[in-house]
């Protein structure tokens, strides 16, 4: 049985990896101007001239966006997986708990309110710090409530209310902001991996890769925590530091993506479910790498659909993630119930 599980896990991981590579190539090669696989490889391996159209399109526009979508999807997926394990609840994700809304509020403070306080230029570092601060504050409020509320439904309502409060505060900020800043923030709030620059990609990858590596180190403690605090303590796990690490890592992952791509919902909810069903396990040592690949695949596929379905116009990324992700989860869940 163990060998059969190992074969299944490796097979699905291979499928997810192949799908991620395919989506990456599609995002780089297809669009208003189609680029052949040969030209893509020449550009990626440095054999194309910087003056070529293919080089300019890929290197300046499509490659940063494609890389950002892969990292962003992996980050949101693992953030959702960590929070679902932490709260022992399958419908928890950063968007549901208001973490994304907290990040959005503080990004709004930076982008909309910064000009009021004399900030003439908003840097990527400012955006990340603002998003991280908002994510941590909302998560702290949810944890404060979790210590006093045992009903999971009530806890989720607390998270939703925190999200509504953050949205209300953002609306107040918008009422006093300049029209240009409001337009920029409105575009950002719809969620998109468009417009990524290489410095932003570098910052995103530095944060996400380090945080994902630390998340991998939590695989065994996560397995122990999923069995309950008493079991984890009997296994020698220091529960409080591990819980703090989970909150910190999930907030960093959420903040990093929200700061640059805006609030992107559903990936953190859908992908962990899909991976659990495909892998038929709750072992975090398997789900974490599967979640990384699954999140990258889903984000890349949704971003591809967002920019090509009604080209040259572009659809909101959040709408695509919900349209694609919701039916997939429902299909897999109902299919599993029939087994």
Q: What is the Cα–Cα distance from 79 to 266, expressed in whole angstroms?
A: 12
Measured between alpha carbons, how far is 29 from 109 in angstroms, rounded to an integer? 37
124-146 and 239-261 helices, crossing angle to 10°: 140
- Neighbour tally for 113: CB within 10 Å: 16
Work out the number of other CB atoms within 10 angstroms of the CB of residue 34.
Answer: 8
pLDDT digits (tens, 9 = 90+) for 129-146: 888 888 888 878 877 776
Which residue ranges of the chain lie beneath pLDDT 70? 1, 113-122, 146, 149-153, 155, 329, 332-333, 335-339
Exposed / middle / buried, residue 103 (Cβ in 10 Å: 0-12, 13-18, 19+): buried
Whether 170 contacts 134, CB under 8 Å? no
Residue 145's pLDDT is 75
Domain spans, the chain: 2-337
pTM of the model: 0.86
Buried b (16+ CB within 10 A) or exposed e, 311-322: eeeebbbbbbbb
pLDDT at 116: 46
In the CATH hierarchy, which top-level class contains the domain 2-337? Answer: mainly alpha
What is the DSSP secondary-structure string of 125-189? HHHHHHHHHHHHHHHHHHHHHHTT---HHHHHHHHHHHHHHHHHHHHHHHHHS-HHHHHHHHHHH
């Amino acid at each position: 049985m163990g060998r059969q599980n190992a074969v299944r896990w490796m097979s699905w991981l291979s499928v997810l990896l192949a799908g991620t590579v395919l989506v990456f190539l599609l995002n780089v090669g297809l669009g208003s101007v189609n680029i052949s696989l040969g030209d893509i490889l020449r550009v990626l391996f440095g054999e194309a001239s910087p003056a070529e159209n293919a080089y300019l399109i890929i290197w300046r526009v499509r490659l940063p966006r494609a890389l950002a979508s892969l990292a962003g999807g992996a980050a949101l997926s693992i953030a959702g997986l960590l929070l679902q394990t932490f709260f022992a609840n399958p419908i928890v994700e950063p968007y549901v708990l208001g973490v994304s809304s907290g990040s959005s509020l503080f990004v709004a403070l930076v982008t909309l309110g910064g000009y009021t306080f004399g900030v003439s230029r908003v840097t990527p570092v400012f955006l990340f710090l603002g998003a991280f601060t908002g994510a941590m504050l909302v998560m702290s409020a949810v944890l404060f409530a979790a210590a006093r509320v045992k009903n999971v439904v009530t806890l989720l309502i607390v998270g939703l209310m925190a999200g509504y409060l953050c949205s209300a505060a953002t609306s107040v900020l918008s009422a006093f902001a300049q029209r240009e800043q409001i337009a920029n923030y409105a575009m950002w709030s719809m969620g998109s991996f468009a417009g990524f620059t290489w410095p932003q990609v570098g910052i995103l990858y530095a944060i996400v890769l380090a945080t994902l590596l630390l998340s991998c180190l939590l695989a065994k403690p996560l397995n122990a925590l999923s069995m309950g605090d008493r079991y984890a303590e009997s296994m020698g796990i220091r529960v409080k530091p591990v819980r703090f690490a989970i909150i910190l890592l999930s907030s960093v992952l959420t903040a990093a993506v929200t700061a640059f791509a805006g609030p992107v919902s559903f990936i953190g909810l859908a992908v962990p479910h899909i991976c659990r069903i495909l892998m038929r396990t709750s072992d975090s040592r398997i789900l974490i790498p599967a979640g990384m690949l699954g999140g990258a695949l889903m984000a890349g596929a949704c971003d591809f659909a967002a920019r090509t379905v009604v080209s040259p116009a572009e659809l909101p990324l959040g709408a695509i993630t919900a349209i694609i992700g919701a039916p997939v989860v429902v299909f897999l869940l109902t299919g599993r119930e029939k087994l």
